[in-house]
Structures are given as C-alpha cells and as structure tokens.
C-alpha cells in the first residue's frame, strides 16, 4: 500500500496495524535493530523526501521502501557493537530532552 512518512518503532508484541503502515518482521534481533537505527537516521536526515509522492498527502509506497539501499557490516559482532552504541546515544539524547 502506501503510508505517510512518520516515525519508526519496534513493537515487541504481536499486534495488528492499519494497512497504511509498512511493517517488517525479523527473525534476527541484531538485523532488526540495525535496520531500525538506519531507518531512524534516514527519517532524521530526510532521506525519504526524494522518494515521497506528493499530492494531498505526502506518502511512500512499499516498492519505494523495499528499494531503499542499506549497507550493513558483514561481521555480526561489528553490527551488534554499532547497535549498542546507537542505542546508548538514543538513550542519552532522550535523557537530555
């Protein structure tokens, strides 16, 4: 479908969402957390702006999201370390807000 550009989140419970949400399910929490951090960065840096279809409401469709290129480390340990670092930074930023 399509959805307006909004915040990304990790739900650690079974849930139902509107079909206007773009949902991803990961078997590996390390990859899930890495993708989450990168999507947050893309949102913050307005990387989606060039992909957004304009009209009455700006939106992205699933095809555009699936085409988003994401580079990840080959080393799982490196990915875990990056996840921990970015998560700590998020927590520090939240505390200071």
Give the residue ranges of the chain where pLDDT is below 70: 1-4, 54-58
Q: How confident is the model at residue 16, as a pLDDT?
A: 86
Q: What is the pLDDT of residues 74-88, one digit of tens each?
A: 899 999 999 899 889
Q: Which pLDDT value is given to residue 32?
A: 92
Eight-state DSSP code of residue 58: -
DSSP percent split of the chain into helix, strand, coil, nearest 5: 45, 5, 45
Within 8 A by CB and 6+ apart from 43, the residues are 5, 7, 8
Q: Report pLDDT for 78.
A: 93
pLDDT of residue 77: 93
Tokens of 10: 């990790």
Distance between CA 37 and CA 52 in Å, rounded? 20
């Amino acid at each position: 479908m399509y959805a307006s550009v909004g915040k990304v989140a990790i739900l650690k419970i079974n849930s139902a969402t509107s079909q206007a949400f773009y949902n991803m399910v990961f078997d590996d929490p390390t990859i899930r957390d890495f993708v989450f951090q990168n999507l947050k960065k893309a949102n913050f840096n307005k990387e989606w702006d060039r992909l957004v279809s304009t009209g009455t409401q700006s939106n992205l469709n699933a095809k555009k999201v699936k085409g988003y290129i994401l580079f990840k480390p080959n080393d799982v340990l490196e990915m875990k370390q990056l996840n921990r670092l970015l998560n700590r930074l998020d927590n520090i930023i939240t505390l200071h807000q």
